[in-house]
Structure 1
């Protein structure tokens, strides 16, 4: 039996805390496989691509393994549904997002046979493409690899 890791909670913290706020958690984070990033767009594909690129560049997933890319894609889509209140559209609905994101890979179950899972979290703003008219939003997606 291995240690259980709350990959969703960690992903939400990584996406929502500012850089200086994360300093307190850094010693614990060294044991984890994760990455962070930012994306702002009216284009859903740019949001998806930003997360995929960060995960691949930071070695969170192996881009040559389809099952890993597929798991990440579904976690991203689930998280986007949270951000967009189950209406996965941005520019098509005349709204824009400014998001911080994180991707965390780990074993959320004590039983090693359950394998690794991947979590994607978004935190930021969504709203009309007019500065000052946006509001906070958050989304979380978790999928097995």
Structure 2
């Protein structure tokens, strides 16, 4: 299988430090809608709100139940992976500083029959709120729309 899935596309965009704009343009030409942003907090609700706001502001999702619901579950799934199962930050003295990507499009590159999906990837640092006491983490959520 030479085609990339929406999750791998979102992961590449979240973790890329160099050629992100070319990669983004390449997939936008294949009808993916892409946004990359940053968030940081000791409050998981603020990270969820930042991602939901970006998705709405950038017109990745429209204001309807199915799209908002799919985005919400993709975020929670990604946050669960990023936090390693316990979606808690400040409550257990953890902070997060992360890059997030939101990708909307077909599940498999160049396969319109695979349907309309949304992927959210979180990549960054998590750990004690003291500098030098954090480590890398990644989480991904994918949901059908």
Q: Structure 2-normalised TM-score?
A: 0.89
The aligned residue for residue 34 of structure 1 is: 34
Q: 1:68-119 deviations in whole A, cap 9, x for unaligned? A: 000000000000011111111111110000000000001115362x520100
Instruction: For 1:33 and 1:5, locate their aligned partners in 2 and report how far apart those are by CA, in whole Å.
Output: 15
CA distance in 2, matches of 1:71, 1:140: 13
Partner secondary structure for residue 29 of structure 1? helix
Gaps of 5+ in 2: none
CA apart distance, 1:30: 2.7
Could you tell me how far apart the structure 2 residues matched to 1:16 and 1:50 are?
A: 19
Asked if residue 128 in structure 1 is aligned to residue 132 in structure 2, the reply is no
Report the equivalent of 2:93.
Answer: 94
Q: Once superposed, what is the RMSD of the aligned Cα atoms?
A: 1.5
How far apart in 2 are the matches of 1:76 and 1:45? 11
Tell me the residue number matched to 1:84. Answer: 83
Distance (whole Å) between structure 2 residues aligned to residue 140 and residue 53 of structure 1: 18
Task: Report the 3-state secondary structure (helix = DSSP H, G, I; strand = E; otherwise coil) of the residue aligned with 1:132.
Answer: coil
User: 1:48 aligned to 2:61?
Assistant: no
1:23/1:35 CA distance change after superposition, 3 Å: closer
Mapped partners of 2:89, 2:43: distance in 1:
6
Quick one: which of 18, 21, 24 aligns to 2:19? Answer: 21
Alignment partner, residue 7 of structure 2: 8
Distance 1:21 1:91 in 2: 34
| Distance in structure 2 (CA, Å) of the matches to 1:111 and 1:34 | 17
Q: Which residue of 2 aligns with 1:138?
A: 138
Secondary structure at the aligned position of 1:85 is classed as coil
**Structure 1 stretches of 4+ moved >4 Å:** none
